[in-house]
Structure 1
Amino acid sequence: MTHPDTGTPVPADTDLAADEAAAVAEIARARAELPALDPAAFGCYLGTVVDSVADYTEGDPVNLLVSLIAVAGVHLGQSPHVRAGDDLHPLLVWPLIVGRTNSGRKGAGWSSAKRVALAAAPDFMVSNLRSGLTSGEGLAAMFTDDPNAQTETDAEDAPRRAGGRLPPGDRRLLVFEGEWAGVMERMKRDGNSLSATLRGAWEGGDLSTMAVTARIAPESHVGIIGHITPKEFRDKVRASDLAGGTYNRFLPIMVSRTQFLPGGQGAPDAIVKGIGAEMAERLDTGGQLGSLGFTQAGQALWRRLYVEFGSDHGDAPQVEQFISRAAPYCLRIAAIHAALDRTDAIDTGHLTAAAALVRYSIASARTALTNDQEVTKLLAWIAHSGPAGRTRDEIRTDYCHKHKDKAEEVKRILTGLIDAGRVTVGKRPSASGKGRATEVVTAELPRGL
């Protein structure tokens, strides 16, 4: 069948249907590789925002959620904060969105979140959003009000966007880096102070540098959203990066495409405008809050969560280092939820949603750092067997094709998955109903797939 005007082949409807079915099946396989996410993470105001637009995007809902949390935390500004002991925590959340180049749809998730944010805070998104992190001096330069402090050469080191420096007196900076792998490369250069400056920025404090191109930035309020593939992260992150504390400032979030939407045009304008109007009011009111505390029930739940997130999880050292700030992240996210609810009292609902997201982040860290392609392939293969599961003999013969070396490696991986609770060991009755039942392993497809 050919096109009447161009003469080029046109796929038959049956071919198109088969291709679309294959695309949907690939989405299911990709999502089977993700950790399980507790729906409680969406039990917050921003969760209702995500629900309103999720049907219109191929981006992962958790990508939308955590991106909006990051945007909100920066927009709320320096006034709302929480205390953990003697430490004052600004409401800053730095998601590191980890997903494959194509099936991850990282950009689609950010585009949907950005559109909502533009509807809620257009001036902020135009004036305070940047990209192009290069050096600590360049980042610090963004927070000086001295018009002569940045030379033409220095401008190459500052986060870029037409319009230059932040508005005078505004200490809010939202940095979006769609290629975080490039930032990681720049941080490895000798003499680059970006890693150290980022550690100060997460604390919401002094970014002053003492290099040759010294900058004075006694106040900052910086949020960062980075995108990277799993392989890029594993290939580029160094043990010293994790041990030094740069990456435990980030909240790793694994994502993948959720649906197949050929010709999709995003959420209707009326929906986005309605969301924007309500979010704008919540952001403005929440930004006027000061120190946030707890309700009585919230305090009781936080004590339990503090024990959960403040203790070692028995993971490999690099994972433990990556997730070592799980407790303060839970507190910061819960406080953002409370501020958007226009209250200075963090309650159980805020903490429950935050804890579910942090648990997913911990699972994402394990996947990003320790699960190579073989692990994710094995998990997906087991999951697609459904409740029937896979026997160890089937894994050896059908998955490993009786290759001894591969079978030994897969046996080690399977033991780790069982210990981590990512697969379940059960029993399958014999076909005849007689004799001993066979041991099988099963895994659930995440999010109902």
Structure 2
Amino acid sequence: MDGQPRRTLKAAQADALLRWADGGSGDARAPVPDAACLYGLVGDVALEGSEGAETNPIAIAGNFIAYLSCAIGRTPHLAVGNTSHHARLFFLHVGRSGRGRKGDAVSLVTRIDELVRRKGRSLAPQIHRGGLSSREGLAALIHDGYRVGTQDVAAVEDKRLWVVESEFANVLQQSQRGGNTLSAALRDCWDGVDLKPATKTNRVYATEPHVCLSGAISPVELLGLVQRRDLCNGFVNRFLMAWGERTHIEAFPRRVPQARVEALAAEVAGVLDFTRPRDADGRETVLMSMADSARRRYAQLYQAELNQDLGNTLVDSLLERRAPMLLRLAMVFALTDRQWSIEEKHIEAAMAWTRYATESACFVFTGKAASPAQLQMLWAAERISEFLAARGSASRRDLVIDCFARHQPAAVIDAAIAHLAGAVGGIHVEVRPRSRGGPGRPTTIYRLRPQPTSN
């Protein structure tokens, strides 16, 4: 990402920061999640927590998914090629200060956890409420044991750790410090890689970590603190990002009745009991499967929407892990149904989240809650403009073959041409009949319209 793309990314980030620093996102409408995001038990928790309250249900749902993916642990896994995916997710709740209700979005999940813990301490994961500062500090929370002088410190056997960073800006600030390895450590945790010491003198290890994270941040903090390296090294795109602000104003928000919390906790405990290791040493893993219809649907999405560039360098860098994110979400949804097989309905619910994360990233980083199809069309239009500026003119065949190397659907190209034809300073369309009046279609030639000159 050198040269012009690098400058474009930096400029786009600066433009977005200026827009949010003025207090809002202009005239852009905030994205609206599909109802499919609130699938099953996830939806039950989200709707219960948001009823009669200001908290956005999508924010509650995202935090609950992160908690549940942590509590599930490493027992279930899904094999994709030579890679094993566990149901392990990082969630990032984005909303303006005072409107995001970020603390409230976690409170019901915390109440559920307290009751799950009473039902069986082995069911619930360890929770760390913020304050991460380094790889060593993170590894120390789930270490394999170490020695201090002549004394041995016993290992932490349960490697499940749910980190709640209500001030995610802290994590981004730590990553800016020279030599800080927290960002790299969290990337390893998302991948499930062992946390090894960064120095020879540090002997704190953590093997097979299962760390999940719930973060909250304002758009101004996110845009102001995210460094280019965080966008390009795969740190930020490991987070399932969701825009979530209060849905209405409620002076006296409803407290979820304890009986309902107990019922939800019983459901969660049932799911976690279903996913527990069955043998004495706790090392058993369960390979999840996909129904044929789910495999066909995922393949269809993977070959199209999940791997399409959206035409914005900044947004594209944030969405590179849409495919594995979708699979992990689908695993969580299947496990809430207490089954080891992922069905098409779980893929669809996960895809609803993937689309909402895409729209959230677009809204925060560009101010446009455009759909992936719209962004693809705008990217194609920009590509055509650049191609015509360099060549002067081109036929549709030239655009298909030379501009897009046959990699874009005809519908996308046609939509981009229509957009440019109707735009101010867009393209001029000339239709040339076949030479000598022969049969066949006439040839259409496209040129950029001359730009008006200022006196």
Query: Normalising to structure 2: TM-score of the pair?
Result: 0.69
Counterpart AA for 1:344: W
Q: Secondary structure at the match of 2:212?
A: strand
Structure 2 residue aligned with 1:294: 290
Q: In the superposition, relative to structure 1, how do residues 197 and 268 fare at CA in structure 2: closer, same or farther (>3 Å)? A: same
Counterpart AA for 2:134: S
1:361 aligned to which of 354, 357, 371 = 357
Question: Does the 8 Å contact 1:298/1:351 carry over to 2?
Answer: yes
Structure 2 residue aligned with 1:94: 90
Say if 2:199 is the partner of 1:203: no
1:228 aligned to which of 217, 231, 237 = 217
Counterpart AA for 1:176: V
1:334 aligned to which of 292, 314, 330 = 330
Say if 2:346 is the partner of 1:350: yes
What is the CA–CA distance in structure 1 between the aligned matches of 2:246 and 2:47, rounded to whole Å? Answer: 16
Say if 2:264 is the partner of 1:268: no
- Provide Cα deviations, 1:310-345, integer angstroms capped at 9, x if missing partner: 413323112111110011000000001111211110
What is the CA–CA distance in structure 2 between the aligned matches of 1:185 and 1:345, rounded to whole Å? Answer: 41
Structure 2 residue aligned with 1:46: 42
Counterpart AA for 1:362: T
Paired residues for 1:397-436 under 5 Å: none
What is the CA–CA distance in structure 1 between the aligned matches of 2:43 and 2:307, rounded to whole Å? Answer: 28
- Provide Cα deviations, 1:15-34, integer angstroms capped at 9, x if missing partner: xxxxxxxxxxxxxx999842
What is the CA–CA distance in structure 2 between the aligned matches of 1:293 and 1:167, rounded to whole Å? Answer: 33
- Provide Cα deviations, 1:88-145, integer angstroms capped at 9, x if missing partner: 1111110111001101111111112322333334546684344211001111122224
Question: Does the 8 Å contact 1:120/1:276 carry over to 2?
Answer: yes
What is the CA–CA distance in structure 2 between the aligned matches of 1:167 and 1:85, rounded to whole Å? Answer: 32
Question: Does the 8 Å contact 1:73/1:93 carry over to 2?
Answer: yes
Counterpart AA for 1:364: S
User: RMSD in angstroms over aligned alpha carbons?
Assistant: 2.7
Structure 1 residue aligned with 2:235: 246
Structure 1 residue aligned with 2:80: 84
Say if 2:124 is the partner of 1:108: no
User: How far off is 1:42 after superposition?
Assistant: 1.3
What is the CA–CA distance in structure 1 between the aligned matches of 2:26 and 2:268, rounded to whole Å? Answer: 32
Question: Does the 8 Å contact 2:78/2:85 carry over to 1?
Answer: yes
- Provide Cα deviations, 1:344-368, integer angstroms capped at 9, x if missing partner: 1000111111110110001111122
Structure 2 residue aligned with 1:390: none
What is the CA–CA distance in structure 1 between the aligned matches of 2:160 and 2:68, rounded to whole Å? Answer: 11
Q: In the superposition, relative to structure 1, how do residues 279 and 180 fare at CA in structure 2: closer, same or farther (>3 Å)? A: same
Counterpart AA for 1:191: G
User: How far off is 1:309 after superposition?
Assistant: 4.5
Say if 2:134 is the partner of 1:135: yes
- Provide Cα deviations, 1:173-203, integer angstroms capped at 9, x if missing partner: 1101011112111111011011111111101
What is the CA–CA distance in structure 2 between the aligned matches of 1:146 and 1:350, rounded to whole Å? Answer: 39
What is the CA–CA distance in structure 1 between the aligned matches of 2:27 and 2:69, rounded to whole Å? Answer: 28
Query: Normalising to structure 1: TM-score of the pair?
Result: 0.69
What is the CA–CA distance in structure 1 between the aligned matches of 2:28 and 2:272, rounded to whole Å? Answer: 35
Q: Secondary structure at the match of 2:304?
A: helix
Counterpart AA for 2:261: V
Q: In the superposition, relative to structure 1, how do residues 166 and 318 fare at CA in structure 2: closer, same or farther (>3 Å)? A: farther
Say if 2:205 is the partner of 1:216: yes
Segments of 5+ residues of structure 2 without an aligned counterpart are 1-24, 278-284, 370-414, 417-421, 423-455
Counterpart AA for 1:144: H
Structure 1 residue aligned with 2:402: none
Paired residues for 1:188-199 under 5 Å: 188-199=176-187
Q: Secondary structure at the match of 1:128?
A: strand
What is the CA–CA distance in structure 1 between the aligned matches of 2:262 and 2:142, rounded to whole Å? Answer: 32
Question: Does the 8 Å contact 1:56/1:267 carry over to 2?
Answer: no
Say if 2:325 is the partner of 1:325: no
Paired residues for 1:138-177 under 5 Å: 138-146=137-145, 148=147, 168-177=156-165
What is the CA–CA distance in structure 1 between the aligned matches of 2:50 and 2:229, rounded to whole Å? Answer: 38
Q: In the superposition, relative to structure 1, how do residues 285 and 108 fare at CA in structure 2: closer, same or farther (>3 Å)? A: same
Structure 1 residue aligned with 2:398: none
Counterpart AA for 2:137: G
Structure 1 residue aligned with 2:440: none
What is the CA–CA distance in structure 1 between the aligned matches of 2:110 and 2:27, rounded to whole Å? Answer: 23
Question: Does the 8 Å contact 1:30/1:103 carry over to 2?
Answer: no
Indicate the structure whose relative CO is greater, using CA pairs within 8 Å and at least 6 residues apart.
1
User: How far off is 1:57 after superposition?
Assistant: 2.7
Structure 1 or 2, whichever has the larger Rg, is 2
